[in-house]
């Protein structure tokens, strides 16, 4: 029997979408009520799940799977920040401390609770 964390504790919020907001990528606030892409090393507020008609649906809490670059994060609490590709990377300064519950190094993904 496989363990699945999919959708546990997720909450979604609608924001205006900056042109840089892309589904499946981490995001930050870029203006009042507006989210867009993060730059390398920036802290992120959530994950864009969909963009339609200038509105972005953003997962703000709960379990998400994200692509990572660099060294694979370890399970447990890790400090993660945005990478340059819309995913995350492990950092020693800045970023967010998040609970990493699964790491798939073959596919370059990490499962975290926001």
pLDDT tens for the chain, 114 residues long, are: 578 898 889 999 999 999 999 999 999 999 999 999 999 999 999 999 999 999 999 999 999 999 999 999 999 999 999 999 999 999 999 999 999 999 999 999 999 999
Q: How far is CA 62 from CA 8, 72, 74, in A?
A: 6, 21, 19
CB 10 within 8 A of CB 61: yes
Instruction: Give the separation between CA 97 and CA 57, rounded to whole angstroms.
Output: 23
pLDDT score at 2: 78
pLDDT score at 101: 97
pLDDT score at 1: 56
Nearest to 114 by CA among 11, 36, 41, 39: 11
Instruction: Output the CA torsion sign for 86, 20, 94, 6.
Output: negative
């Amino acid at each position: 029997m496989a363990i699945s964390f999919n959708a546990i504790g997720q909450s979604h919020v609608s924001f205006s979408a900056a042109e840089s907001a892309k589904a499946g990528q981490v995001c930050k606030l870029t203006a009042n009520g507006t989210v867009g892409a993060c730059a390398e090393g920036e802290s992120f507020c959530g994950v864009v799940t969909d963009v339609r008609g200038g509105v972005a649906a953003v997962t703000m809490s709960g379990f998400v799977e994200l692509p990572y670059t660099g060294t694979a994060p370890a399970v447990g609490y890790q400090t993660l920040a945005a990478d340059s590709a819309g995913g995350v990377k492990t950092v020693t300064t800045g970023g967010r401390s998040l609970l990493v519950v699964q790491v798939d190094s073959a596919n370059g993904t990490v499962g975290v609770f926001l």
